[in-house]
Amino acid sequence: MTVALVALGAALGAPLRYLIERAVRARVRSQFPAGILLVNVLGSLILGVLTGLLASPHWQALLGVGLCGALTTYSAFALDTVVLAEGRERLLALSYVLASLVAGLAAALVGLAAGAALAG
């Protein structure tokens, strides 16, 4: 049952990441990987809410591991950072790393607080 929930969540998260990243790329004409930043921050927020809610193991499997696991992407974050740095866009690469860390942690904290408040 748990494996099926993870697979279902991932089947939703991966296409969602693709669609969000493509939509952002079409609107933001820059070397800055704003789409990947957005999905990673969104995933951090969702995971924070789930944790704050003390969601059941089934919801954690479906939304936490499955959806957020497929929605977020460390590999694209790492590759984008390396590509920017190797392309002599070191300041942009550093900005991307800092924005990803700060925004991701902030989103997780906000989500955790929101989830805990909703849980009562």
Number of domains making up the chain = 1
The one-letter code for the residue type at 64 is G
The structure's pTM equals 0.94
d(CA 50, CA 58): 11
Q: What is the pLDDT of residue 120?
A: 83
Q: What is the DSSP string of 68-111?
A: IHHH--HHHHHHHHHHHHHTT-HHHHHHHHHHHHHHHHHHHHHH
**Domain assignment of residue 47, given as a range:** 2-119
Contact, 111 vs 49, CB < 8 A?
yes
- Please identify every stretch of the chain with a pLDDT value under 70, giving residue numbers as ranges: none
Q: What is the pLDDT of residue 32?
A: 95
